[in-house]
Amino acid sequence: MASIIDGKKISQQIKDELKEEVARYREKGVSICLAVIQVGNDPASAVYVGNKKKACAYVGIESLAYELPEETTQEELLALVKELNEKKEVNGILVQLPLPEHIDENVVIRTISPEKDVDGFHPQSVGALSIGQRGFVSCTPAGVIQLLKRSGIQIDGKECVIIGRSNIVGKPLAMLLLRENGTVTVCHSHTADLKAVARRADILVVAIGRAKMVDADYVKEGAVVIDVGMDRDENGKLCGDVDYASVEPKASAITPVPGGVGPMTVAMLMNNCVETARRENALSADRTI
């Protein structure tokens, strides 16, 4: 029987802590503002953006929403990002991905000022993370670390196996686990004998985007299993990359989908927004993240 790692509860705790911190900033006359840009009307993106705006309102962060039509040109989008880079009252800029095909995501990400890159996607942020310097950390991997720490799971000295090498999750998570003194292996579609490598893990993180692919055969007895997937099963029901029913009896702790990693991404975005204020105002001696 695994203990369930409750991402909803932990993300709520973090948002409540941030709410207090933001209130203290407000007393000192400091406000925090996030600009969120969505291009086109991808329904999933609209849900994510809605969740981000709701979290901002809860924590006390101002949000500016830019909903641009699908046919927006790259030049128009870049002009908006540059304008927001210059605006002193805007602390963070987030361009929701994916963008329409005629827009080059990499060019857009590079145009966001690294000072306002609350998604942590800019090459400067990624580079800083990899050499242990200060910079914004991508929200989902940062959320995985908080889930582990706040559940009392030790990373130091543990075998950590990540399945998936995306720029947004797998690679930055490898850097974060290393920073916590884990021994890290990153697996991908060319990994020979994936099951055997995964079975080495004390902490197994799965981020591949394939519904229920990881079953009990991939899991060592007593492992901690973190499921970053957000998929649909054969009946259209929301599920993760991990076959929960098969893995749960073997794991010592496991994240559910939904209610595991998902809510943490938004909480960590809020943390990055607050971080912009921490950098400019040394007010947060009692910060917890």
Judged on CB neighbours under 10 Å (0-12, 13-18, 19+), 1 is: exposed
The catalytic position among 119, 202, 241, 243 is 119
Residue with tokens 């029913």: 245
Q: Is 119 a catalytic residue?
A: yes
**Which of 46, 64, 65, 97 lies at the binding interface for ligand GUN (CB under 6 A)?**
97
Pick the closer one to ligand GUN by CB: 175 or 201.
175
Q: Is 96 a catalytic residue?
A: yes
Cα angle 147, 179, 153; round to 5? 30
Q: Is 275 in the site for ligand GUN (CB under 6 A)?
A: no
Beta bridge partners of 242: 214
- Minimum CB distance to ligand GUN, residue 217 (Å): 29
Give the residue from 287, 253, 12 showing the smallest Cα distance to 155. Answer: 253
Q: Where are the alpha helices (DSSP H) in the chain?
A: 7-27, 43-59, 74-86, 105-111, 123-130, 139-150, 170-179, 194-198, 244-247, 262-280
- Minimum CB distance to ligand GUN, residue 96 (Å): 5
**Which of 11, 96, 146, 272 lies at the binding interface for ligand GUN (CB under 6 A)?**
96
Q: Which of residues 244-273 bind ligand GUN (CB under 6 A)?
A: 265
Pick the closer one to ligand GUN by CB: 168 or 187.
168
**Which of 17, 119, 248, 275 lies at the binding interface for ligand GUN (CB under 6 A)?**
119
Instruction: Collapse the DSSP code of 214 into the 3-class scheme (helix H, G, I; strand E, B; otherwise coil) and give the result.
Output: strand
- Minimum CB distance to ligand GUN, residue 235 (Å): 24
Q: Is 149 a catalytic residue?
A: no
CB 62 within 8 A of CB 33: yes
Q: In what order do the strands lie in the sheet with 203-206?
A: 3-4, 253-254, 224-227, 203-206, 159-163, 183-187
- Minimum CB distance to ligand GUN, residue 87 (Å): 19
Q: Which of residues 75-94 bind ligand GUN (CB under 6 A)?
A: 94
Judged by the rule CB under 6 A, the positions of this chain that interact with ligand GUN are 94-97, 119, 139, 265
Write out the catalytic residue numbers: 52, 96, 119
